[in-house]
Each structure stands twice: as structure tokens, then as C-alpha cells.
């Protein structure tokens, strides 16, 4: 835990002036935000950060985070904001290097909550071995925001050639799921609605870059990677099959779902296939590489329950079917919205 | 004007489902947002964009835009969001290449307004010769946002070695201002407060990358560049002198201020030195290069009124003084906030 040089007790709540570009903005940035993330690039205090890349292919991604509530079992908006962009970069087959952070704070937001979020971001960025090199802070009037929104964008170096993409998926490929699904969405809903569960259900929010690197280091030909966030497993695979103009069959019995997630989903009529995850992904690889890929992924703690859950075929373009436990088939279609809004 | 493939009349207002990651999200992105920005990198439809950089030094910057109102004389939030990040990258001595866009939309935001903003972004991005290669769209409940907030982040290739930075400023350097100041802040305030002015005062919001390139192409040694956004000219120079631990004197009579800006400022008790600009910057260069730099900058339409406004000296670290028109001196200090909130 860093000690905080900013006098939180003098400014217990964020004011409009903290976003005005004057001395109070400068104080907030110089004494609260910048010291947490300090590194040579950020400390240049320029309009942007400058760095050299050794002639590589780069991946570039962005995500705004509006999760509510901002603190939830298994994480918070700061942890989520770093994981979200690190994971999007990892899904391009890249190792994330540099992140930017843009805060939109609501007037009246408790400064101590900002401090907690900043520390969580720092811990997660350190774990991911990424540096936060540039940033921006805006403040909007009370009632024009919801405490804190965080955009993170990032740049990473692509580590596999050619990089994974939905258009590279081929008939005959297998679909590997990295672990059990549905925990993030259900944990957020439980926190939001004050549900008392017998078990402590935590979000699966986690950094996926190392798990992806274990596949790349093993030399696996990665046709497509996708983290299963908003819209869950179902929306992820439908989107990929739609772009690839191929079809997929998933064997429901092979998809790991925890007892707690299954129970809450049954009680509330939710479908875990559509429930958001923040630490799970699928890898679509050639069938000939499935054993090697499974072994590589299972060597990482976030992939130790990895399974083959389905197979790609040249059937109806975009069609995803699920073989149920009683042997029937159901078609997965996209929901119009999300079962739970603002889960990330 | 592009024709819009999205049925705006069927969805006249943004709903929560447009941010849920399901079919309505997909429809909004596939039919409204993506077609506007279409390019091979964006059209990969991956979690991030992948591109190759030829071993260059890169600049990376981010800005969230929360301006109110979103349409104002001389621009709109879309134009501003592209200019803001392009200019921040230009201030690193770089030519912007790729941008990301993150939208936070409020439930109930008119879809037609989003369409107008998207087209404005596209026009500005084309003018800047940058591609929007990756993006994200979130929707928050009515009352938890203010129509639309836009984060843009970007990557550019640094064109001067060493790149400009506040720490490179030296005693004896001169300060060049690219043109008249204060128009953006006053235009926003007039729009917000419904002020009826005799003249049509427009924001100066503009792309600065070409004006900066004219200096770089002329071989000028750029010690520091800074666009004069929130906090205006005063906050910009104070921050630079603070970082450089040097002192600056500005000659007030050399700072161009339009008659309209001067009148509104006098009536309302605002100081144009602290009023925001979105198309003005200062370049701090060696005195020996001042004529060459002025000539280069004046060759560009956005720099045709460029002037030497001050000189850097080894006086009190961080001290900025202004020699007034009657020969006295005043010290510029940072305001605690901004004279006008949410101007960018």
C-alpha cells in the first residue's frame, strides 16, 4: 500500500475544479494520480508518451468501463479497466506494453474511492507488466455521470505470425474454452441486487495475457482468440462464426459451469451461455494441435480447467448449435441486449 | 454526406440494449458506426487493431471529451474529439496515424445526433489523414451521463529527434504563439448561456498536425510544443516553466486577441490568457531559429498570424510574468479551476 501524498481529508470529494486544468487539477494529478503510476515515460509530463518499438507488428485496443457497482466481489472498476484492455490486446496474440487511462469523474465522487481504484489499477498493471504512460482526467457535474468511468487504451507487440483473427478460422478447427463461465455477470448482479448467496461467488475478472502467451510459446497455430465479456460465450462464438461464415457445434456437457452460477441462473431464469465473463476466453485451433494446446493452456492457473467444447464445420454460415445433455440440439441466437446492463 | 444504412427512424433514441453486446449492439455498430469509419484495419472486427510500424519512435496519447453543449459554433464534440488527440500527438512532434474511439452514450440520446457526430468525426479524421481502427461503445442509464462522452486515443510516428519536451526548454529560447487566443472558450460559453453577440464568434477548434509538420519540415529544433486547451495560454506556459524550472516573460502587446473575445471577456470579467483554445499552440525554439520558425509557421493557414510573444530566462523557477501595455508587470498564477467547466 502506497502512502498518499494528496491531502484526501482536505478534499474528501471531487469538485468541478479538479477537472478544470488549473491548480486543483494539477494537484490531483501531481499528488494523487501520477505518483501511483510513476514511470519514466509518464513522468515526462508531455501531452503524450513517446517510446520506441523495434519494428514490430503492434496491436491497439480501447475499452470504456462503466461497471456498476464499482466495487464488487472479486474486483473493482480499476482492476476491470486494466484487465479489459490487457485482455483485448492479448486476444490479438500480443503482449501488452503500454496503456493510457482516461477518467471521467462525477462531481462529489469520494476521493478515497478514487485512491482505492488507482491502487487497484497499479497492482493489476504491475501484474500484467504494463506501464500506464499517458492519461486524462475530466470532471462532470453531479447527476451527469455515475461516480467514475474509466477508459483504457493500449498498445502491445504481436507475438504470433500471422495473428489470430475470425477470418482465419477453418472448418475442422476445435474450440477450447479456458475455464468455467458466468461468474462475472452473476457476481455483479448479486452485488447490485444485494442477493445473499450461500457461497461467496466472485467475479472471474483476471489478466489473460500470460495464459495466451503459454499457447504462443508452445508454438500453437492460433486461428482465433476471443475473451467472453458482454454477451458471454454465446455472443462471442456467434460473432466469430458470423465473420468466418462457418458453423459451430458446442457440446453442452463439456462447458464447465460452477454449481453457484448454475443455481443462481436457474432461480432467476438467466442463461449462463450469455452471462459475462472477464477472465475466460476461447481459442480456436487446428484439430491436429488440440492436445498440445490443451496441455499448454492447462499449465497456466487460469487455464487448468480448459476443455474442448466444440468444433467448427462448413455448415450454415453463422449457425451455432448446442448439443444438450439430453441429446437434442438448440440453436444459439444473439440476445437483443445484455441480460444485465453495465457489467463492464 | 454518407447515406445511413441504420434505420434511425426505428430507433430514434439510444436504448440500454444498444450497449449490451447483443444483436442491437451489433446492429448499431455494424450499420451505424463501422460503415462511417470503414477501413481494412477496423474491418478486421477483432478485439483490437493490428498494424506494423517501421521501427519508429511512437507517440501515444488519450483524451476524454465531455464538452457541453455537444454542438457549438465552429464545431461539435466529434470534431473536437478527433482534433484533441491528433493535436496532443502533434505536440509530441509526431504525425498521427491511428486512433481508437470509445463512446459512452446516455440512454435516450437521439440517434440522429450520434449520426451527425460520427460524420463530423469521419470528416475530421480524413482531414488529419488518420484512421479510426478500433473502438468501443457503452450505454449508461438516463441520468447517469450527458448524451455523449467520447474518448479518443491515438498513436503517431515521431518525426523529430530528439522529440520536444518541457525538459528541453533552455534560457534564451523564444516563445512563438500560432495565432489569436480565447475563441473556443468564449464560443462554448456563448452557446451554453445563449448569449447574443453582434459578431458570430466561432471556436478555433482545428487540426494542428500540418502546422507542426511545417516547423519540422523546415528543420526547426523544437524544444517544446503545447496546445493551449483547458486553462488557456497561461496554464500552458506555467506548467512548462514549472517542469523546466525556468522563467518566462510574455509581452502582452504581442498576444493577438480578437475584438469579440476581448469585448466578451471585459464584460464578463474573464481573462483571455486563461480561456481555452482548441486550435492554437506555442512552440518554444532557440532564438537563433526564430525567423526561420516564424516563416515556416506563417506559411500554414493556421499559423499565418504567428508571433514571438515571449522569452525564456533563468529567473525564478516556474515564474511567468506579463509585461502589460502600460509597461507594468503582472505575475501569471494558475487558477484553481477553469473559468468555464466542461469546455472540452
Helix (H) or strand (E) holding A37: helix A34-37
> Domain residue spans in chain B?
16-158, 166-332
Residue B198: predicted pLDDT: 65
According to the 3-state scheme, what is the secondary structure of chain B? CCCCCCCCCCCCECCHHHHCCCHHHHHHHHHHHHHHHCCCCHHHCCCCEEEECCCCEEEEEEEEECCCCCEECCEEHHHHHHHHHHHHHHCCCEEEEEEEEEEEEECCCEHHHHHHHHHHHHHHHHHHCCEEEEEEEEEECCCCCCCEEEEEEEEEEECCCCCCCHHHCCCCCEEEECCCCCHHHHHHHHHHHCCCCCCCCCCCCCCCHHHHHHHHHCCCCCCEEEECCCCHHHHHHHHHHHHHCCEEEEEHHHCCCCHHHHHHHHHHCCCHHHCCCCCCEEEEECHHHHHHHHHHHHCCHHHCCCEEEEEEECCCCCCEEEECCCCCEEEECCCCCCCCCCCC
Residue A300: predicted pLDDT: 96
Contact A61 B53 (CB under 8 A): no
Instruction: Name the minimum distance, in Å, from the CA of B148 to any CA of chain A.
Output: 10
Residue B2: predicted pLDDT: 64
Half-sphere exposure of A101 (CA within 13 A, CB side): 28
Residue A1: predicted pLDDT: 57
Contact B134 A61 (CB under 8 A): yes
Q: By the 8 A CB rule, do A197 and A260 touch?
A: yes
For residue B283, what are the contacts with CB-CB under 8 A and spacing of at least 6? B175, B176, B178, B212, B215, B220, B222, B224, B225, B293, B297
Average pLDDT over residues B28-45: 92
pLDDT per residue as tens digits for the range A186-237 = 999 888 887 776 667 899 999 999 999 999 999 999 999 999 999 999 999 9
Nearest neighbour of B22 by CB, restricted to A21, A56, A334 = A334
Nearest neighbour of B66 by CB, restricted to A87, A92, A140 = A140
pLDDT confidence bin for B62, thresholds 50/70/90 = very high
pLDDT confidence bin for B114, thresholds 50/70/90 = very high
pLDDT per residue as tens digits for the range A96-151 = 999 999 999 999 999 999 999 999 999 999 999 999 999 999 999 999 999 999 99
Residue B53 pLDDT more than 80?
no
Distance from chain centroid for Cα B223: 20
Find the farthest-apart pair of alpha carbons in chain A and give their distance in angstroms, rounded: 67
Residue A195: predicted pLDDT: 73
Q: Which of 3.40.50.720, 1.10.10.60, 3.30.1330.10, 3.40.50.740 would CATH assign to domain B16-158? A: 3.30.1330.10
Average pLDDT over residues A15-42: 93
**CATH 3.90.650.10 at B166-332, yes or no:** yes
Average pLDDT over residues B324-344: 89
Residue B132 pLDDT more than 90?
yes
Nearest neighbour of A337 by CB, restricted to B17, B100, B229 = B17
Sheet holding A94-106, edge to edge: A131-140, A94-106, A148-158, A57-65, B49-52
Closest CA to B201 of B69, B344, B73, B341: B73
Nearest neighbour of B50 by CB, restricted to A22, A25, A163 = A163
Q: By the 8 A CB rule, do B63 and A102 touch?
A: yes
Instruction: Name the minimum distance, in Å, from the CA of B216 to any CA of chain A.
Output: 17
Residue A54 pLDDT more than 80?
no
Helix axes B209-217, B290-298, angle to 10 degrees: 140
Contact A138 B342 (CB under 8 A): yes
Chain B residues in contact with A144 (beta carbon < 8 A): 145-146
pLDDT per residue as tens digits for the range A331-343 = 999 888 777 889 9
Chain B residues in contact with A135 (beta carbon < 8 A): 62
Residue A335: predicted pLDDT: 86
Chain A residues in contact with B22 (beta carbon < 8 A): 231, 235, 274, 334-338
Contact A165 B44 (CB under 8 A): yes
Average pLDDT over residues B58-82: 97
Instruction: Name the minimum distance, in Å, from the CA of B98 to any CA of chain A.
Output: 9
Find the farthest-apart pair of alpha carbons in chain B and give their distance in angstroms, rounded: 67
pLDDT confidence bin for A177, thresholds 50/70/90 = very high
In angstroms, the CA B337 to CA B344 distance is 14
pLDDT per residue as tens digits for the range A300-319 = 999 999 999 999 999 999 99
Residue A318: predicted pLDDT: 95
Instruction: Name the minimum distance, in Å, from the CA of A177 to any CA of chain B.
Output: 17
Q: If you average pLDDT over every residue of chain A, what do you get?
A: 94
Average pLDDT over residues B282-300: 98
Mutate to test the interface with B, among A18, A19, A22, A99 (most CBs of B within 10 A): A22
Contact A60 B144 (CB under 8 A): no
For residue A131, what are the contacts with CB-CB under 8 A and spacing of at least 6? A37, A39, A41, A42, A97, A98, A99, A125
Closest CA to A243 of A280, A212, A274, A284: A284
Residue A322 pLDDT more than 80?
yes
pLDDT per residue as tens digits for the range A228-265 = 999 999 999 999 999 999 999 999 999 999 999 999 89
Distance from chain centroid for Cα A191: 19
Average pLDDT over residues B276-284: 98
Residue A268: predicted pLDDT: 83
Chain B residues in contact with A243 (beta carbon < 8 A): 45
Chain A residues in contact with B335 (beta carbon < 8 A): 20, 22-23
Mutate to test the interface with B, among A31, A50, A164 (most CBs of B within 10 A): A50
Q: How many CB atoms are located within 10 Å of the residue A188 CB?
A: 28
Contact B19 A341 (CB under 8 A): yes
Average pLDDT over residues A31-45: 92
Q: Do domains B16-158 and B166-332 have the same CATH topology?
A: no
C-alpha cell at B217: 519540415
In angstroms, the CA A303 to CA A306 distance is 5
Closest CA to B77 of B88, B64, B65: B65
Chain B residues in contact with A163 (beta carbon < 8 A): 50
- Taking CA–CA distances from B341, the nearest residue in chain A reads A20
Residue B22: predicted pLDDT: 87
Closest CA to B64 of B184, B124, B131, B153: B153
Closest CA to A139 of A25, A38, A44: A25
Chain B residues in contact with A45 (beta carbon < 8 A): 166, 239, 243
- A213-217, B29-33, B196-200: which range is least confident on average? B196-200
Residue A256: predicted pLDDT: 97
Average pLDDT over residues B140-164: 96
Residue A2 pLDDT more than 70?
no
For residue A89, what are the contacts with CB-CB under 8 A and spacing of at least 6? A59, A60, A61, A95, A96, A154, A155, A156, A209, B47, B48
pLDDT confidence bin for B252, thresholds 50/70/90 = very high
Contact A337 B54 (CB under 8 A): no
Average pLDDT over residues B219-247: 96
Distance from chain centroid for Cα A167: 22
Residue B16: predicted pLDDT: 95
In angstroms, the CA A270 to CA A265 distance is 5
In angstroms, the CA B324 to CA B28 distance is 54
Mutate to test the interface with A, among B17, B28, B46 (most CBs of A within 10 A): B46
Average pLDDT over residues B260-287: 94
End-to-end CA distance of chain A: 26
Q: If you average pLDDT over every residue of chain B, what do you get?
A: 94
Chain B residues in contact with A157 (beta carbon < 8 A): none
Sheet holding A49-52, edge to edge: A49-52, B57-65, B148-158, B94-106, B131-140
pLDDT confidence bin for B55, thresholds 50/70/90 = low
- A37-46, A311-320, B59-68, B87-96: which range is least confident on average? A37-46
Mutate to test the interface with B, among A21, A208, A339 (most CBs of B within 10 A): A21
Instruction: Name the minimum distance, in Å, from the CA of B89 to any CA of chain A.
Output: 6
Contact B158 A335 (CB under 8 A): no
Residue B313 pLDDT more than 70?
yes
Report angle CA A96, A102, A106 to the nearest 5 degrees. 145
Nearest neighbour of A335 by CB, restricted to B15, B22, B61 = B22
Average pLDDT over residues A68-91: 97
Residue B197: predicted pLDDT: 67
Amino acid at each position: 500500500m502506497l502512502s498518499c501524498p494528496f491531502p484526501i481529508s482536505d478534499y474528501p470529494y471531487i469538485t468541478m475544479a479538479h477537472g478544470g486544468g488549473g491548480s486543483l487539477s494539477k494537484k490531483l494529478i501531481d499528488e494523487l494520480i501520477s505518483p501511483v503510476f510513476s514511470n519514466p515515460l509518464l513522468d515526462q509530463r508531455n501531452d503524450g508518451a513517446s517510446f520506441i518499438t523495434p519494428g514490430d507488428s503492434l496491436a491497439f485496443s480501447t475499452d470504456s468501463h462503466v461497471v456498476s457497482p464499482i466495487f464488487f466481489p472479486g474486483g473493482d472498476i480499476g482492476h476491470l479497466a486494466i484487465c479489459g484492455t490487457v485482455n483485448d490486446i492479448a486476444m490479438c496474440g500480443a503482449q501488452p506494453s503500454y496503456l493510457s487511462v482516461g477518467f471521467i469523474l462525477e462531481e462529489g465522487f469520494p476521493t478515497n474511492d478514487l485512491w482505492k481504484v488507482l491502487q487497484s489499477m497499479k497492482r493489476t498493471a504491475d501484474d500484467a507488466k504494463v506501464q500506464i504512460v499517458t492519461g486524462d482526467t475530466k470532471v462532470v457535474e453531479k447527476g451527469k455521470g455515475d461516480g467514475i468511468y474509466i477508459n483504457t487504451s493500449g498498445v502491445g507487440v504481436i507475438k504470433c505470425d500471422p495473428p489470430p483473427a475470425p477470418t482465419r478460422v477453418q472448418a475442422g478447427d476445435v474450440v477450447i474454452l479456458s475455464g468455467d463461465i458466468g461468474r462475472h455477470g452473476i457476481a455483479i448482479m448479486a452485488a447490485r441486487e444485494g442477493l445473499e448467496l450461500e457461497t461467496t461467488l466472485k467475479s472471474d475478472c483476471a489478466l489473460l495475457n500470460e495464459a495466451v502467451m503459454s499457447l504462443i510459446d508452445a508454438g500453437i497455430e492460433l486461428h482465433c482468440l476471443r475473451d467472453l465479456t458482454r454477451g458471454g460465450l454465446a455472443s462471442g462464438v456467434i460473432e466469430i462464426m458470423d465473420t468466418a461464415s462457418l458453423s459451430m457445434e458446442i457440446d453442452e456437457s463439456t462447458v464447465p459451469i460452477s454449481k453457484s452460477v448454475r443455481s443462481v441462473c436457474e432461480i432467476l431464469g438467466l442463461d449462463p451461455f450469455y452471462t459475462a465473463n472477464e477472465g475466460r476466453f476461447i481459442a480456436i485451433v487446428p484439430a491436429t494441435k488440440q492436445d498440445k494446446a490443451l496441455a499448454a493452456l492447462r499449465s497456466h492457473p487460469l487455464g487448468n480447467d480448459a476443455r474442448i467444447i466444440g468444433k467448427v464445420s462448413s455448415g450454415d454460415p453463422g449457425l451455432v448449435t448446442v448439443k444438450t445433455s439430453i441429446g437434442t440440439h438448440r440453436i444459439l441466437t444473439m440476445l437483443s441486449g445484455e441480460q444485465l446492463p453495465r457489467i463492464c
